Amino acid sequence: MTEGEELLGAPSKGLTDGFEGYLSPSDEDYRAVLTSGLVVLDTNVLLNLYRYEVRTRVDLIRVLERLSPRLWIPHQAADEFWRNRDQTLTNRRQSTKDALDQLDKPTRAVDQAIANWARSVGLPSERQAEIRKLHTEAIAAVREAISGSVEDDHLGRARDTNEDPVLKRLIPVLEGRVGSTLPPEDYANALQEADKRIANQAPPGYKDANKPDHRGAGDYLVWEQTLREAVLRGTDVLLVTGDVKEDWWRKFQNTTRGPRLELIQELRERAGTQLFMLQPQDLLRIAGRLLQVEVGPESVGEIAEIAKTAPRSVESATNRERIRPYLVTALIETLSESFTVLTGGSGSGSAWDVTVKKQGVVVAAVWIYDPIKPFNDLATGSVGSTGQSMTRELFGEDAGVRRPWVACVVDLASLLRGLSTDASPWSAGRGSAPGLSADAAVIFRPHADELMDAGFDHIEVLSSVDSADAVNRGGFTRIRMVVDLLKQRVETELDQIDDVPGAEG
């Protein structure tokens, strides 16, 4: 073969063909995805807004406002944001309290050190008092600075969503930009796929495998919902996340080099588009420069610093929180348009997970019981007492003959785990030997009877929700039975809702 001739067979490729995932994106790449792609925000990007100083928060929100036409939030990320918002605000207040408490601890030690030193050098008592006063004044100044910074931030009233400065800016920016939950069958399949990926250590989500109560599915749900949106739009994706675990990022010597190659390939196969990923501080820096948004360099530094101490990821989904979106979506698809399906209870702070209304009247409600401490809950009889307080709240004094139809979906995953890892507390509390799924259902049966006595119409007991393990499949089939029973109840016996006391119109 002469010089310059090509070998016969498959056409030759360039050095980067098929290896694009190793390339560093250029400014042109980022500008294109920021102006015409899909910019996806993970939960931690939103929650960390409560951890920044005012200046940093304003800078990041200003960038998000500039990107608003391209922004999109997976339903899973929005759900995690609302579930973790209160705890994030609580942690913020607690950190301030801890800092102030810590300032008091060294006072005695400093006073003693001053006293010991003063005696050794023969310092007059008047001079000792002056030095102690300097220390006291310094501590008071630090306390005032910490307290003043918090008061100036206006987040002290943020528990009231009407007074939350973060929500006031975020809600307009994200209006119409939050995805829908997956259809019930797709949701169940996605949970099975998440479990398979965890078992095979396939990204994303497998680094959350050891979270309690099966909370490892959240990352994959965010990813699957993002893939579907990318397919619909046919655009490149920029995923912005503060999660730096290796099931999202390709790393070298503990430094992120870009998205995992598997994720790049999966998006290319599903949507035919390209995946980019940035941490929030890099989004602030790059978007500020390319889109000409004024951003302070201190803000970039603070976001990077907060990322080192903030939680790496939020708790993704307990079994209760896996069941709830499935149940809500199934009810919306099953019931006629005259019914309204709501997540949460009929009143503030209610323990009801899902309520169904017709003309403003609650006609059905479902409680998903997933105990974190099953031995305490069951041995102390709190299941029945909780059920009684819930039905009293929902039925009220004037519910009339047609009170709401209520059901409880009981997930025994926590009980099964407790039986398999620590049988002695249960044996001490109930005198029952540990067993498998069937034994757990038998153990719970008296408490199901207590719920029926409290006014529940139906109890559905699960050993677990669907997973990759064939033994545990079928949980969502039984939840579907609850949906069918509820439909039968509210669309036949309650078809004359105008006669129900309190009905609107």
State which of 342-346, 365-369, 463-467 shows the largest mean pLDDT.
365-369
Read off the tokens for 488: 């039968």
375 pLDDT more than 90: no
5 pLDDT more than 60: no
Domain boundaries of the chain, sorted by first residue: 17-315, 319-493
Provide the pLDDT for residue 223. 95
177 pLDDT more than 70: yes
Cβ atoms within 10 A of the Cβ of 474, count? 14
Q: Which residues are CB-contacts of 242 (< 8 A; sequence separation ≥ 6)? A: 42, 44, 45, 48, 279, 280, 307, 310, 312
Read off the tokens for 194: 């998440």
Query: At residue 463, what are phi and psi to the nearest 5 degrees?
Result: -80, -25
Whole-angstrom distance, CA of residue 100 vs CA of residue 1 = 80
> DSSP 3-state assignment of 23?
coil
Peptide bond into 204 cis (omega under 30): yes
Of 313, 312, 413, give the one whose Cα is nearest residue 80. 313
pTM greater than 0.85 (yes/no): no
> DSSP 3-state assignment of 249?
strand
Beta strands in 170-309 (DSSP E): 237-240, 249-252, 255-259, 275-278
Which helix (DSSP H) or strand (DSSP E) does residue 357 occupy?
strand 354-358
463 half-sphere exposure, CB direction, 13 A CA radius: 17
pLDDT digits (tens, 9 = 90+) for 24-64: 888 899 999 999 999 999 999 999 898 888 888 889 999 99
Q: Which residues are CB-contacts of 279 (< 8 A; sequence separation ≥ 6)? A: 240, 241, 242, 244, 256, 304, 307
Provide the pLDDT for residue 173. 93
Provide the pLDDT for residue 61. 92
Provide the pLDDT for residue 429. 35
CA distances from 204 to 72, 139, 191, 195, 259 (A): 19, 47, 13, 11, 10
Read off the tokens for 341: 């399906």
Degrees, nearest 5: CA angle 86-90-92: 120
Provide the pLDDT for residue 125. 76
Weakest-pLDDT range from 6-10, 69-73, 112-116, 301-305 = 6-10
SS (H, E, C) 453-474: HCCCCEEEEECCCCCCCHHHCC
SS (H, E, C) 294-305: CCCHHHHHHHHH
Q: Would you place residue 146 in the very low, low, confident or very high pLDDT band (cuts 50, 70, 90)? A: low
Percent of the chain whose predicted confidence (pLDDT) is above 70:
69
Longest CA–CA span in the chain (Å) reads 100
Provide the pLDDT for residue 108. 60
405 pLDDT more than 50: yes
Provide the pLDDT for residue 43. 92
Cβ atoms within 10 A of the Cβ of 477, count? 11
Q: Which residues are CB-contacts of 250 (< 8 A; sequence separation ≥ 6)? A: 21, 256, 257, 258, 259, 260, 261
Q: If you average pLDDT over residues 309-323, what whole number do you get?
A: 58
Instruction: Judge whether 178 and 225 are in contact, CB under 8 Å.
Output: no
126 pLDDT more than 90: no
Instruction: Judge whether 207 and 179 are in contact, CB under 8 Å.
Output: no
Weakest-pLDDT range from 29-38, 309-318, 361-370, 450-459 = 309-318
pLDDT, the chain, mean: 76
348 pLDDT more than 70: no
